[in-house]
Chain A
């Protein structure tokens, strides 16, 4: 099956600042892909290229079979895009914004707008300028979903939201998306959110894809292990290549490539007094992967990379 989004050798420079240096990525139809990476690494730029804001410096992209650099308006008609920040005129109410958008989309669905606003408890008579951060996020999401896009691009849609609003939005929006089987690419720094909605993780670093794996696979291969060493133990080398945090005799190991035999190796180690498996934490996975990516040479294999 042809991927919904296909990116080959994508490079993007702003003057001397090369943000992307050869990104290769396929996004399957119906998948929810989380785009991860440190701040300023080019995640938002990648999304803006996909909606045709910027023509890439090099490489090729295809979104729903269209080249966004050449057919940006057509792509945007089929794609729902939630930018990291949406500003509207102060006088414009939520309802006026929806009325403003309607003529641009042949598939605009007012019934869906009403349903989503009801589900998210969004007051359409309120002016956009008076909305809280959570309400603005809801507004942006409804505006992006109202024309029933085949692909939804979310650029940190949940940042700054409190847990209650975040839960509301996630439940309502992702429920709707899963019902329709839409494809989603979401940029987020919240691993909790990613764990809840994504089925695939893509991590960018140094302008390239450094991690591209199914969420299940990452969860299966990632482990956090707490090890207590014998008192006075000196230098100690754990099996595999985990990220090691040692505080006295207590050591926390974060593995991206856990193998079951490591448990036996650890328990058989004479300087190890106790071994405990800790709950999985994708934040740690992200941190360790980012650390590995930034210290790796461009040609080095990243342990957890699926491809």
Chain B
């Protein structure tokens, strides 16, 4: 179970050939209180880098891109009632959607946890 990170602050956690996608703790802290998340419909095919979801906070709206290609197999419906989970537990209960990875090799092009931590340091 490895987690990969993008420069646009999405993560994808590989569980077999399934990828759990969400936004990072750094992303939620920059956005502030999340008030709404718009998720892709289950069954939608996403290409890596394609716009997949939208997250709105009290001060901004941001697009969430697919960190890897695949088909959306499950979305986190709890977020429609409790968007604050994105702030409270971004990498746990605040996940966005799960995809069936069609090109797992794409993950190798993403950052691992250490690389992402270093990357975030360069931003502040």
A binds B: no
**Which A residues form the contact surface with B (CB < 8 A)?**
none
**Which B residues form the contact surface with A (CB < 8 A)?**
none
